[in-house]
A and B are shown apart, each in its own frame.
Chain A
Amino acid sequence: MPAIEIDPLAVLRQVFIKVLDEQMFLFAEDVDLAEAPAVDEPMSAVTITYHGYSRGELYLALSRRFCRIITGSSLGVDESEIPASVDLDDAARELLNMTCGQFMTAYFGEEPVFDLCPPQCRGLTAEEFAETRRVFNGLSFMVDDNLILLSYTPEA
C-alpha cells in the first residue's frame, strides 16, 4: 500500500481519462450514476485481475456501441470501415489492460511488481446490467453519450 493515504478511485479516474485521451482520442466526463440516462442497448463487462505485490480486480462496463467506437478510434478508421473480422471486444480488453497497468504504477509506485491476467470480456443481459448499476460503487463516466462504469476491488 502507498505510504500516504491516497484515494485509489481518484487515481483510477485520472489514469482512465488519460488512457482514453492518449490512446483513443476520447474525452470522458464524470457523471452521477443516479442522474445518468437509462441504458437500453447491449452492454459488455470487462474484468482484469492482478497479483504480485497485492491482488485485486478492475471492472469496466460499456456498451457494445462504445466497443465499436473505441475500436475505430484505435485503428484510426471510421466505425463503418471496421472490417467484419475485427473482434470488437479486443479494444475493450486492451482499454482495461492499459488502464490497469497505468493504475498499478500510479497508485502503488514503480517499485512493486505485478502480474496482470489477460482481461476477460463478456456480454451483460439487461437484467445483469440493471443490477450492476443498482449496486455499483465506483466511477461513472459519459463518453460520447455512452455510459461507462469503472471500479477497483482490492482483495482483502
Chain B
Amino acid sequence: MAYNIVIVDDSATVRSVLKKTLHLSGVAVGVLKEANNGREALEILRDGWFDLVFTDINMPEMNGIELINTLANDEVMSTIPIVVVSTDGSSSRIEEVKAKGVRAYVRKPFTPECIRDVINGVLIGDPDGDEGIIEIG
C-alpha cells in the first residue's frame, strides 16, 4: 500500500530532506505534496485524501498549531495522523500537541533513522495510537 503524505514547512531545505528521507525509509510513498505553511497545507488536504501530515510549528501565515487545531475540528481531516517536526523542544509544547492528538514529535535536527522509526510507528506499527505520542530528539 502506498501512502499519500503532505510535508508542511516554510524551509524548502527541510522539505527536501524529509522527502529524500521518506524515499530512503523504504515506505511506499504514493502522492507526496509540499506546503509552505498551514494555509497551503489545508488547500492540499481539502483537495484529496492523505495518510500522513508532517508539519513544522513556526511558519508564517498559518503556523503548525493553527493547522493542527483546524484539522482537529474537521470531521474527516481529524483522522489524518500528524507528525510534528520542529526545533521547539519545550515540554509544554509537546504536551500541547499531544493533547490535540498528534502522533509523533520529532525535534530538528533529525536523522533519517528517526523519520523511518516514526513512519514505522505511526503508519505501520500502531494505527490506533494506543502507544501514545512518539517523541524523538
Contact = CB atoms under 8 A, between A and B. Distances in A.
Given A22-B109, A23-B108, A76-B20, A110 B91 contact: yes
Interface string A90-132: 1101100110111011000011111111100000000000000
B11 A101 contact: no
A86 B91 CA distance: 34
A74 B90 contact: no
Nearest to B12: A90
A11 interface: no
Given A74-B13, A75-B20, A98 B108 contact: yes
B10 to A, nearest CB: 7
Interface centre among B10, B16, B90, B111 (most CB of A within 10 A): B90
A116 B116 CA distance: 27
Given A110-B91, A113-B90, A118-B58, A75 B108 contact: no
Interface string B81-117: 0000011111111000000000000011111000000
Majority-rule SS of A interface residues: helix
B22 to A, nearest CB: 13
Contact of B13 (A75, A101, A111): A75
B87 A97 contact: yes
Highest count of chain A CB atoms <10 Å: which of B87, B89, B108: B87
Nearest to B63: A115
A87 interface: yes
A29 to B, nearest CB: 19
A151 B65 CA distance: 29
Given A75-B17, A86-B12, A116 B108 contact: no
Contacts of B93: 113
B60 interface: yes
Contact of B11 (A94, A100, A110, A113): A94
A19 B137 CA distance: 12
Interface in B16-69: 16-17, 20, 58-60
Interface of A: 18-19, 22-23, 71, 74-76, 86-87, 90-91, 93-94, 97-98, 100-102, 104-105, 110-118
| Complex A-B, nearest 6 residue pairs according to Cβ-Cβ distance, in ascending order | A101-B87, A23-B109, A105-B89, A22-B109, A110-B91, A94-B11
